[in-house]
Amino acid sequence: MNTPHEKLPLLDRLKRSVVVADGAMGTFAASLSPNAVESVESLTLTNPDLISDIHRQYVRAGAQIIETNTFGANRRDLARYNLGDKTVELNRTAVRLARAEARPDVYIAGSIGPCHCSTDANLPESESTDFSEVLKEQLAALLEEGIDLVYFETFSETRDLAAAVALARTMTSLPIAASLIASRFGTSASGEDLAASAQRLIDGGADIIGLNCGYGIRAIEGAMEYVNHLGAPLSVMPNAGFPEQVGGRLRFGASEEYLASEALVLAQRGARIIGGCCGTTPAHIEAMARKLSEKKIVSKVRVRREIVSVQTEEGFKDGALLDSFSSVKVPIICEIDPPATLATGPNIDAIKAAAEAGANAISMADNPLATIKIENLAFAMSVRNTVKIPVILHLTGRDRNLLGLQSFMLGAHLQGIEALLCITGDPLTHHGGGTNVFDANSIGLLKMAANLNRGHNLLGKAIGEQTNFSLGVG
């Protein structure tokens, strides 16, 4: 399907055409492995045939950049699996496996994820190495084996990524890509200004700015508008939608055709490297490569899409919050989140002040940006001891399974909560013992809450009465 290109230096190649990268390694390897996979990177040594086959499939699909299976292959992270002393061997082997499957015109990217060098009680003191030592060891192994570019990806903290880029620039003249998780509102996952962060990375030595993983393809499209004027080529690698758990495995809902059509939009908006992150497969990459080769890529003005209400078809009811707004011309809602500590006084005072100033309702997030806060339902009940104001609780699919989600909604009803805002939720991006659940995304949560409003749970069993939530979705 694809004819080989001359192996130009990558940055020169990006000036001429869009380059297709590969898709996910971790989620795809886990789907192919007959056994549970704790460390995808360890498969480089324990099941090299599987890793080679994944590279081979992506190259056949049309990927012109393939990434080594080394995202978390630093001594610090590998020590979790008693593989710290295999760091150099694993990284060098990973490059060899990728190189063996690449055509002469395919670039090998050395993948490096965030290095979690903070104190970790699960690791022995002997493994307490600092950031520079950990990165130097991994990067040196990748460079010695002969990668074509350094690819730092899935960083949420600009500070960490900038430090990694600066250190890498002292070790190599190869192209360096620096990829952040970002929101469509122009911020990184940790809330930093995206344009300023990208400029800082460029000033520190990054040749390519990237956006990957995180909050979905719409977030990447929105985030691109904040960084595509800085002069550096853009790399974008979206997830295949948000995951849901089906039969004990994660399933990503975006089809090959959908990602292919979106790849064309990304190219038209300025992306020069387009690949896939979590949930993408060789089938997605093949569809994307075919779509990009079929169409002439021209710049295109963003078109606002019409939103069509489906209230009647779904049988939604207004619920308690909207009923209370019936005489309010323009409701005013203030988002004041629960605090991260038990010092709740300032937050409650802020809610009291908002209510006195005329706010009609308070909106409370559910551990926003995957950071720990007091549970919003518990905080709402504490607030109501002193302030009488309707509350909109955000609810994500990240932290609770289907059982816990329905239980939470029933409890919220008993406590008189007027509204729920159903949100898929920000995925965890740091190692801290937590895991993403995602039994349901925002649409699944909405269906669940709508069922309770009709008087039955997801199993169709009656709950005794109907809940009366006003429902929203993000």
Cα radius of gyration (the chain):
24
Q: Is residue 463 part of a domain?
A: yes
Tokens at residue 124, please? Answer: 């022995």
47, two tokens: 């099941």
Residues 338 and 373 in one domain: yes
317 in the same domain as 253: no
Please tell me whether residues 286 and 315 are part of one structural domain.
no
The CATH number for 382's domain is 3.20.20.220
- Domain assignment present for 140: yes
Shared-domain flag, residues 68 and 170 = yes
Amino acid at 417: I
Three-state SS for 211?
strand
Whether 160 and 237 share a structural domain: yes
Regarding whether 348 and 251 lie in a shared domain, the answer is no
Q: Is residue 301 part of a domain?
A: no
Residues 26 and 130 in one domain: yes
Kindly report the backbone phi and psi dihedral angles of residue 395, in degrees, each rounded to the nearest multiple of 5, phi listed first: -140, 125
Is 3 a member of any domain?
no
Distance (Å, whole) CA 214 – CA 223? 11
Q: Specify the number of domains making up the chain.
A: 2
What's residue 425's pLDDT? 86
Give which of 379, 358, 452, 466 is closest to 409, Cα–Cα.
Answer: 452
From 269, 294, 319, give the residue that closes a domain: 294
Domain match, 282 and 370 both: no
Give a yes or no: residue 304 inside a domain.
no
Position 4 in a domain? no
300 found inside a domain: no
Q: Which structural domain range is residue 85 located in?
A: 10-294
Provide the pLDDT for residue 73: 97
| CATH number of the domain to which 88 belongs | 3.20.20.330
Tell whether 266 and 159 lie within a shared domain.
yes
264, 322: one domain:
no
* Contacts for 359 with CB less than 8 Å, ≥ 6 apart: 332, 333, 334, 389
Whether residue 269 lies inside any domain: the answer is yes
DSSP 165-177: HHHHHTT--S-EE
CB atoms within 10 A of CB 11: 14
Q: Are residues 287 and 403 in the same domain?
A: no
Note the pLDDT tens digit of each residue in 336-393: 999 999 999 999 999 999 999 999 999 999 998 888 899 999 999 999 999 999 999 9
In the listed set 234, 259, 294, which residue is the last one of a domain according to the structure?
294
The pLDDT value given to residue 115: 81
Tokens for 367? 């551990």
Query: What per-residue confidence (pLDDT) applies to 433?
Result: 53
Give pLDDT < 50 ranges for the chain. 1-4, 118-128, 298-314, 431-432
Q: Which of 234, 266, 294 is the last residue in one of the domains? A: 294
Average per-residue pLDDT in the chain?
87
What is the C-alpha separation between 80 and 459, in angstroms, rounded? 40
Q: Are residues 239 and 375 in the same domain?
A: no
